[in-house]
């Protein structure tokens, strides 16, 4: 059972009930009709990263779907929340890569996304014996990863939202959906 494809999706939902705000975030992400099983964060060897639009065509209502999921919620008015999935894909496609989940308060979409991307890249770099200083900036580490020729791509999908001013639950979700076909 090794997934052949993977796609990213994200969404946001607001409602007076926390569970319903989560459901609305899943709907916004296009994955509310599936039964999600949360898994840890390995990008499968030889898996192909596809678009959300293409990925959604592989899903059926009621299907059990494996996913790496980041979610966050608040009912505090004006509170900034974010959910992010980062990915680091190795140059050698016969080797696995990493996905990371990050959920935060007070970070912009860009900050949360870069953090998740950096987490995934660092996890992959340590398994590939890439020599780097963990205290260096993300930009400096990206250059080291590029020069090493061991990491071909890093990216992220991030959803942020500002807590509803009336105190409704506001939920963000970001997910990597694994496809076996």
**What pLDDT digit, counting tens, does each position of 93-141 carry?**
999 999 999 999 999 999 999 999 999 999 998 898 888 777 888 888 8
Strands (E), the chain: 5-15, 35-38, 42-43, 48-50, 64-74, 80-90, 97-105, 151-162, 169-179
Predicted TM-score of the model (pTM): 0.93
SS3 at position 133: coil
* CATH classification at residue 157: 3.50.20.10
Neighbouring-strand partners of residue 98: 42, 88
**pLDDT band (50, 70, 90) for residue 142:** confident
Give me the chain's average pLDDT, please. 95
The range of the structural domain enclosing residue 97 comes to: 5-179
pLDDT over 90 (residue 50): yes
- Looking at the structure of the chain, the number of domains it has is 1
Of 140, 148, 96, residue with least CA distance to 118: 140
* Cβ–Cβ under 8 Å, residues 26 and 45: no
């Amino acid at each position: 059972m090794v997934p052949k494809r993977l796609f990213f999706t994200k969404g946001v939902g607001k409602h007076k009930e926390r569970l319903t705000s989560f459901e609305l975030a899943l709907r916004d992400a296009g994955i509310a009709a599936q039964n999600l099983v949360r898994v840890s964060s390995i990008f499968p060897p030889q898996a192909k990263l596809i678009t959300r639009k293409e990925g959604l065509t592989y899903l059926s209502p009621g299907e059990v779907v494996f996913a790496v999921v980041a979610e966050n919620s608040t009912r505090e008015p004006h509170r900034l929340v974010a959910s992010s999935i980062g990915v680091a894909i190795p140059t050698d496609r016969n080797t696995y890569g990493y996905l990371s989940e990050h959920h935060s308060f007070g970070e912009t979409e860009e900050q949360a996304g870069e953090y998740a991307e950096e987490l995934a890249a660092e996890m992959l770099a340590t398994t590939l014996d890439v020599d780097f200083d963990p205290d260096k900036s993300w930009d400096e580490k990206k250059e080291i990863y590029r020069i090493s020729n061991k990491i071909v791509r890093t990216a992220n999908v991030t959803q942020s939202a500002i807590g509803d001013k009336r105190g409704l639950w506001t939920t963000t979700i970001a997910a990597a959906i694994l496809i076996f076909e």
